[in-house]
Chains A and B, each alone.
Chain A
Amino acid sequence: MKLKQLILLPALLALVSCDGLFGGLYDEPAENPFGFVQRDDDGRGGTLRIDATSYTRWTYIDLQHRHIDTANITLGQEAPPEWDFAIHHYDVKTHDGTAAESPFDNVDMAMELEGLVFVADADSQVVIDMSTMMEGYLGYTPSPVNPVLSRWLDVDLSTMPPIYTPSNKVYLLRLSDGTLVALQFTAYMDESLLKGIVTLRYRIINDQT
């Protein structure tokens, strides 16, 4: 290698690598289609992906009409007339339904319901403001929450970063009309690790309509 080439080499490297090299090593962030992203062939089940990143929003899911709606808590927006269950960040509530935690880990398997205890929603509160966390408290608003369905993810905020532990269990949701639906929450973040993107499998077991 001649002297001139040795001197030109750094200039060439600097030109081709201004903003860095090896971008091809990395993946693009996941695209997040929201809503009913997959439907089983028999039409009785599928997969839902919900944007639950906001602490000020309830996302209402109507399984029978395959419809999703949202309501902002701080703006005082009302729930839609028809819905089956709703998600606020990692909290879950039902529309006058009850829910039970099963020992199963797959919504598609045959389930024995005997011995399961179905629990109705209870008056509780949900976090709407995290900005005071470093001062030792959070901003809450009163809201009914289903205590069983909300067990799908344990969030330990006593350490930073928080520790998230999914239960991975199948939950059985009995709607107000008696329809029985199996729910399994499969992710609390998207494929690029963005938290608050909730994915769940559902399967209608016993349709009363």
Chain B
Amino acid sequence: MKRTLLALLTLLSALSLPAQNTTADTLQAKSRLLNMVVVTATRTPKLIMEVPVVTRVITEQDIKAADASSVQELLQTELPGIEFSYAMNQQVSLNMQGFGGNSVLFLVDGERLAGETLDNIDYSRLSLDAVQRIEIIKGAASSLYGSNAVGGVVNIITHTPEKPWSLNLGARTSSLGEGHYNGTLGIANGRWNSLSELQLKHADAVHLADTGDLRTIFAHRSFNAKEKVRFKASDRLVFTGRAGYFFRQREKSTEASDRYRDFSAGIKGDLDLGTESDLMMSYAFDQYDKSDYATASGLDVRNYSNVQHTFRSLFNHSFLSPSDTSSTLGTLTLGGDVMRDYLMSYQFTDGSHTQYTADAFAQWDWQPTSRLNIVAALRYDYYSEASASHLSPKINLLYRCSKTNLRASYANGFRAPTLKEMYMNFDMANIFIIYGNPDLRPEVSDNFNASVEWSHSHYNLTCMAFLNHVSNRITTFWNQERNGMLYSNMRPLNITGLDLSASARWDNGLGVRLSYIFSHESLTDGGMRASSTRPHSATLHIDYARQWSWGRTTLALNGRVLSAVTCDEYTSYSNPTQTEEITYPGYTLWRLTLGHRFDGGWALTVTVDNLFDYRPDYYYNNSPATIGRTLSVGLSLDVDQCFDDGKEK
């Protein structure tokens, strides 16, 4: 492995001789970074260097360079401390620095996603084909986003077409029998623009081993169609409408398949009120269904449906500085949401439940001096079925020196008990019953964060320390009285850690980014080590780009290193004193991607995944589901560029 790595680094060094146009590319990349506008941290547009919360952005270029086939793969490649593994019944499960799928809020253009399985949304709904950027905030963000943002927010932001028309067609296949076909059509015509996406994916079953927690990864296929239309009614008023349909089928056995469907729609109005004010109002509909399909009978019986209707409003007003009307003194943000959440589930014995939630929040973004930025927010949330209400405050500070940004923040996070956690009554194959608990208290987190960011010339260094104190975490415990598992609140726990990142991009086209996270979880009053969060994890990204007379070549090496983790696990569900120590081994995975974009819109990508041919000795649920080195090849065509070139000629 060392020899292969050395050879790769030598290859990259050799390639990094002075090349055509790379200085211009690097300047362009730097300018892109400095002028990058992010919205997730404050719900108002801010330059990334001026935002008081460390925001990690994965750009469209990063997505292409990573050649990731899914959001899970992309996030794991780009960020340390994120691990997607399998839970029971091969359902995907997220761990982001000690927070699970129900504590990290995923948004698409600011909207939540309905439905969950074992506390995780259906990540395969998240297409990467028309993504402009992904903004990631680690740490509580409930003061702006409410429940579920206890551990962080991942906001996927899609493109808004600007060219009269653009059409991208893509196909990708791998030696594992995966296929991925997509088409994205963008149209911009006067007051209208439209973005249409179609995506088809399939994968064969993959046999990992004859023994182990994981043996065969089920074959699956999915279809995803989305439409987003934007209409500029006047210079001040813009409407955005969207609709989507998603279908996924998992071949669990020759007799039965699991089917997942989602129907989504929404409309949003953005009104510029003049005098430095704007107002946004929106309505979103999202329905996520699960059904069992019986191959022999052809019966497709729905056993789960989560339907969410959400109304939102957001108002911003900027106060101009009395001495200098070209600069703002601060921005006031006011907002509120109302949601109806309906859940019908096979895990209920009484059919369905409905919950209404309402919230209101205010944020003051204050710029007392040119160097100092203070953002404070307070949000009130109410949940009808849980009879829960919560106040979530936050305060963020940013102090800017010439090359250094100092940030510090406190944020409160919370997660209300879900309908599932309150009303579940599910017989686990005659083994035990899982009972919901209507008396659950909301999960609460206090997140403290301090960071230093230094940027100079080609280099950027960020060091962040964090502490999360989590109270009332909701999980299942054996309940002797009811002789089953019962949703209950946990004792408080602390998650502390250090997040280091260093990146450099030189004029010769070479870029390097190294990120490392140390994370430690402990119950405040001692107790068993229940966490399977890996204490150390790191990612390394090296890329090189070179412009030729016949196109542009990029070479990227991405590596992940995850340490082993030792934790205590129950050996008896009914006797909490019986535990055993289990060590899940560490591993490292590397991926090499070679891409070439030809003049005329064609692009070819070849990726070798699991470069060093790693295979786990035993497949635990949190082992990487790999059978060794694999090869994938992708071809993409920007049809509009063919015509653009024709015009130029």
Contact = CB atoms under 8 A, between A and B. Distances in A.
A134 B578 CA distance: 12
Interface string B271-286: 0000000000001010
A191 B291 contact: no
A191 B89 contact: no
Interface in A118-164: 130-136, 158-164
Given A13-B283, A55-B430, A30 B297 contact: yes
B302 interface: yes
Interface stretch (B5-13, B260-268, B373-381, B610-618): B260-268
Contacts of B292: 192-193
B258 to A, nearest CB: 10
Contacts of A20: 287, 289, 305, 307, 342, 344
Name A's interface SS. Answer: loop
Contact of A192 (B215, B261, B299, B483): B299
A25 B261 contact: yes
Interface in B402-453: 429-432
B14 interface: no
B615 to A, nearest CB: 19
Contact of A130 (B283, B299, B352, B429): B429
Name B's interface SS. Answer: strand
Nearest to B245: A22
How many of chain B's residues touch chain A, expressed as a range? 35 or more
A164 B253 contact: yes
Interface stretch (A3-11, A65-73, A90-98, A105-113): A3-11
B401 interface: no
Contacts of B298: 27
Interface residues of A, number: 41
Given A192-B292, A193-B292, A193-B294, A10 B301 contact: no
Contacts of B305: 19-20
Q: Which of A3, A7, A23, A134 has the most CB of B within 10 A?
A: A134
B431 A18 contact: no
Contacts, number: 112
Given A19-B307, A30-B299, A192-B299, A10 B430 contact: no
A199 to B, nearest CB: 11
Contact of A14 (B89, B291, B309, B344): B309
A173 to B, nearest CB: 25
B598 to A, nearest CB: 43
Nearest to B306: A20
Interface in B555-577: 571-575
Nearest to A26: B302
A29 interface: yes
Nearest to A186: B296
Contacts of B215: 159
Contacts of B344: 19-20
13 contacts: A10-B267, A10-B283, A18-B307, A22-B261, A23-B302, A26-B302, A28-B301, A130-B430, A130-B431, A134-B432, A136-B571, A191-B299, A192-B301
Interface of A: 3, 6-7, 9-11, 13-14, 17-23, 25-30, 55, 130-136, 158-164, 187, 189, 191-193
